Amino acid sequence: GESVGLHLPTLSVQEGDNSIINCAYSNSASDYFIWYKQESGKGPQFIIDIRSNMDKRQGQRVTVLLNKTVKHLSLQIAATQPGDSAVYFCADNFGNEKLTFGTGTRLTIIP
């Protein structure tokens, strides 16, 4: 079946450095992706989204890159802060039916 996954279950980054979290998907027809951040004890929080007619989208301190050729997307967080510690999920909203989530990457910030 179709799937969305993440490359690394955990990632540790020095405070102030940039973080890159990767995600792969299998459905070449997928056309809308969302990144979520989930802190302990909370629901997923929307970070940024991107549609398949774009390669890059920027938000505040975050950038999402989409490579449709290799079915890969990444979330870049600039100047990582302690508050960025969380689990990050990419989600595929193929067919406008439901969100299919990856397994998540736990980002830990080293002071």
Partner 1 sequence: KAGVTQTPRYLIKTRGQQVTLSCSPISGHRSVSWYQQTPGQGLQFLFEYFSETQRNKGNFPGRFSGRQFSNSRSEMNVSTLELGDSALYLCASSQDGTGGARTEAFFGQGTRLTVV
Q: Is residue 99 close enough to count as binding partner 1 by CB under 8 A?
A: yes
What burial class does residue 78 get, using C-beta atoms within 10 Å of its C-beta: 0-12 exposed, 13-18 middle, 19+ buried? Answer: middle
Residue of 52, 63, 65, 101 interacting with partner 1 (CB under 8 A): 101
* Whole-number Å distance between alpha carbons of 107 and 109: 7
What DSSP string runs through 33-62?
Answer: EEEEEE-TTS--EEEEEEETT-SEEE-SSE
- One-letter amino acid of 74: S
Rounded to a whole number of angstroms, the distance between the first and last alpha carbons of the chain is 41
Residue 22, interface with partner 1 (CB under 8 A)? no
Q: Does 3 bind partner 1 (CB under 8 A)?
A: no
Question: Considering the rule CB under 8 A, would residue 93 count as an interface residue with partner 1?
Answer: yes
When asked if residue 28 is in the footprint of partner 1 (CB under 8 A), the reply is no
The yes or no reply on residue 97 touching partner 1 (CB under 8 A) is yes
Residue 89 is a binding residue for partner 1 (CB under 8 A) = yes
Tell me the number of residues near partner 1 by CB under 8 A.
22
Give contact residues for partner 1 (rule: CB under 8 A). 32, 34, 36, 41-46, 49, 89, 91, 93, 96-104
